[in-house]
Amino acid sequence: MNALLIQAGRVVDPATGRDETADVFVTDGRVQDRPPSLPPGTRVIDAHNRVVVPGFIDLHVHLREPGNEASETVLTGCRAAARGGFTTIVAMPNTKPPLDSPAELRQLDQRAIGAAAVRVLAAPCITRGRAGIEVADLEALAEAGAVAFTDDGATVPDADVMAAAMRRSALLNRLVMDHALDAGLAGQGVMHEGEWSRHFGLPGIPAAAEHLIVARNIRLAEQTGCAVHIQHVSIAESVRLIREARRRSVPVSAEVTPHHLALTDSDVRPDDPRRFKMSPPLGSLADCLALREAVADGTIEAFATDHAPHTAESKARGFLAAPFGVIGLETAVGVTYTTLVLHGLMPLLDWVARWTTGPARLLGRAAPTLAPGAVADITVLDVDNEWSVAPAGFASKSRNTPFDGWLLQGRAVCTVCDGRIVWTE
């Protein structure tokens, strides 16, 4: 493997607090001290006016394979991740069949190896078949490489089942992640319940559908000692509960998506489910502001895309019938950088931390860093030049992004995974 020199970039490394112009030298898949003379064949990447960071981690990605390869495959999802600046992604289990056995996990591993792009970690099901009734064989799944458990797409409705899963997961030292949404309260809702759902005459999902489950999960974390993670938190009251619980050292964490940070229910267009129908739905302005505050102050430790590809046909069924979800891998850096850093809501170092050390800590993995000896997972960012979101050029198979046509700042121009360049402009 040839050596690589990323030259004269602004190195921003939250694990060490480093923020300075420097070279980053890579050989044998690791960051190393730069030798006085470069070995022959060293590839040099000019990083003047670029920001060089540890490879980004996305805790929440739907790869759709097996079962819905028309909207995404492991290969296209991994390519989209690399283009977006990610070197590690966590695959959600709501495939067909669901990811609930070691055999399914091994298949995912094989497909990820075939894609040869980014690291794919697996968060298989909490319950067998994602049916919410019987806890899956968590011990066998952990043994086969599961980094966390979730029934994402749905919450585990029965508190007894959730408690049993959390007791077992605590012994395995794995995070239990939950799509906190009470199915009964959500009912047939398709957007956040409030003045805008009434204005459009669309059935609403009340805020309580989320925060009641968040409250339940916090209680269960206290009882079982198991770390619980609230996926794509979207409601101000959920944030308040999480902040209060964390103050009492309850092991609860949360992630927030770029779309919940950048958009509100007032942005919804009732004729455009491709861009504006997702679960949880876009909240009110007050919810959005609470999420921004919480990710800035560290109550929310991680961003996550909830990349949820859907075909154009399925999204053309109208707001009531179209599936929930929007894609995010190729816009996440730009949307979060523009919304938070460019607008002065959080410093660059903290923003990088929410994409790197934050998610790594939740997964119990070593802090990503650019210090010598570290695995060479590296992202080179251009944060100075505006770019226009053009989904036609995406590596993802799907086009269901709310940010179509937006002007953003911040994008990956080179992604290095395990010492190999997996994306370069």
Closer residue to Zn ion in complex, CB, 100/152: 152
Is the preceding peptide bond at 280 cis, omega within 30 degrees of 0?
Answer: yes
Stretch that binds Zn ion, among 40-48, 175-183, 244-252, 368-376 (CB under 5 A): 175-183
When the beta carbons of 9 and 359 are compared against Zn ion, the nearer one is 359
Dihedral of the CA atoms 214, 341, 82, 403 (nearest 10)?
A: 80
| Interatomic CA distance for residues 202 and 130, integer angstroms | 28
377 is a site residue for Zn ion (CB under 5 A): no
Residue 18 CB, shortest distance to Zn ion, in Å, is 34
Number of residues that bind Zn ion (CB under 5 A): 2
Q: Per the residue annotation, which of 265, 287, 306, 382 is the catalytic one?
A: 306
- In the complex, least distance from residue 152 CB atom to Zn ion, rounded to whole angstroms: 4
Exposure string for 299-325, b = 16+ CB within 10 A, e = fewer = bbbbbbbbbbbbbeebbeeebeebbeb
> 176, exposed or middle or buried, with CB in 10 Å at 0-12, 13-18, 19+?
buried
Nearest to Zn ion of 166, 278 (CB atom):
278
* 292 vs 307 by CB, closer to Zn ion: 307
Phi-psi region of 197 (alpha: psi -120 to 50; beta: other; left: phi over 0): alpha
Q: How near is the Cβ of 92 to Zn ion at its closest, in Å?
A: 7
Q: Which stretch binds Zn ion (CB under 5 A): 96-104, 150-158, 258-266, 325-333?
A: 150-158
Taking CB under 5 A as the binding criterion, the range among 172-180, 247-255, 260-268, 409-417 that sits at the site for Zn ion is 172-180
Selected range binding Zn ion among 119-127, 152-160, 357-365, 408-416, rule: CB under 5 A: 152-160
Q: How many CB atoms lie within 10 A of CB 184?
A: 7
Residues between 71 and 100 that touch Zn ion (CB under 5 A): none
Burial (CB count within 10 angstroms: exposed 0-12, middle 13-18, buried 19+), residue 82: buried
Binding range to Zn ion, per CB under 5 A, among 122-130, 149-157, 240-248, 330-338: 149-157
Q: How far is the CB of 185 from Zn ion (least distance, A)?
A: 16
d(CA 48, CA 29): 23
Site string for Zn ion, 98-137 (x = CB under 5 A): ----------------------------------------
* Sites for Zn ion among residues 244-283 (CB under 5 A): none
* Residue whose C-alpha is closest to residue 209's, from 184, 237, 246, 172: 184
- The SS3 assignment for 10 reads strand
Indicate whether 152 belongs to the interface with Zn ion (CB under 5 A).
Answer: yes
Least distance in Å: CB of 328 to Zn ion?
A: 12
Tally of CB atoms within 10 A around 151:
30
Closest residue to Zn ion in the complex (CB): 179
Distance CA 119, CA 121 (A): 6
d(CA 113, CA 237): 41
CB of 325 to Zn ion, least distance (A): 8
Min CB(380)–Zn ion separation in Å: 30
CB of 179 or CB of 243, closer to Zn ion: 179
Q: Does 179 bind Zn ion (CB under 5 A)?
A: yes
d(CA 82, CA 85): 5
Q: Is 100 a catalytic residue?
A: no
Length of the chain: 425
152 or 301, CB closer to Zn ion?
152
Omega before 97 cis (within 30°)?
A: yes
Looking at beta carbons only, is 10 or 179 nearer to Zn ion?
179
Q: Using CB under 5 A as the criterion, which residues of the chain lie in contact with Zn ion when the complex forms?
A: 152, 179
For the annotated catalytic residues, the residue numbers are: 306
